Amino acid sequence: MELSTGRVATLGPFDFTQSMVALCHDITERHEAFAHIDVSRIAVCFSQTRSRVLHGLQAKLTPMRFEGGALECRRRGRKWTVQRLYVGQREMYYILTFYLPRFLDHTFSEKFITILHELYHISPNFDGDIRRFGGRYHVHSASQQDYDGQMDVYAREYLSSKPPEQLYNFLRHDFRTILRQHGGVIGLQVPIPKLIPLDQLKSA
């Protein structure tokens, strides 16, 4: 999909997916907290928001497996599986969706925290499940504020390793600036997969 101004720009359309994949790959290469991640098995995409307000969902990680990497789970007395997703011949274990223009209209620091926030949700086993904390608050531990505070620390540590600036310079611009410079934003779009009851598959 392309978001476009309808005007011709000298730089050509900005490939959001390609740029985000390159940045995420470098993060996994440079920071040990994300070293377990195989970015080639993450479908990095974007979804268009209906308005330009800053509040609301900025990004979302969708796991393609259930707890412990299982392909099936039992809920309400039925067994379920999830739609499988392939990009080319490679199966995706996660979908990482950014909501534009909202995500790009936040500050540089907030964007970095959001990226690491979602990447850190990935299970240390990289098995298609999320990272699970102990207790009631198994997604963000007891405090999402503390969780994001740790992501801020990780962001500073990553930037202190002096990665190439061209990998993250696009995060310094808001959506309108990128659109003005490039004339359009392109990238992968992936619908959220559906849960499928296994008895439905057997009867098909």
pLDDT number for residue 126 = 98
> Which of left, alpha, beta for 84 (phi over 0: left; psi -120 to 50: alpha)?
beta
Q: pLDDT-based confidence at 195, cuts 50/70/90? A: confident
| Residue pair 39/24 in contact by the 8 Å Cβ criterion | yes
Q: Per residue in 112-147, pLDDT tens?
A: 999 999 999 999 999 999 998 765 545 555 567 889
Cβ atoms 36, 69 nearer than 8 A: no
pLDDT the model gives residue 198: 82
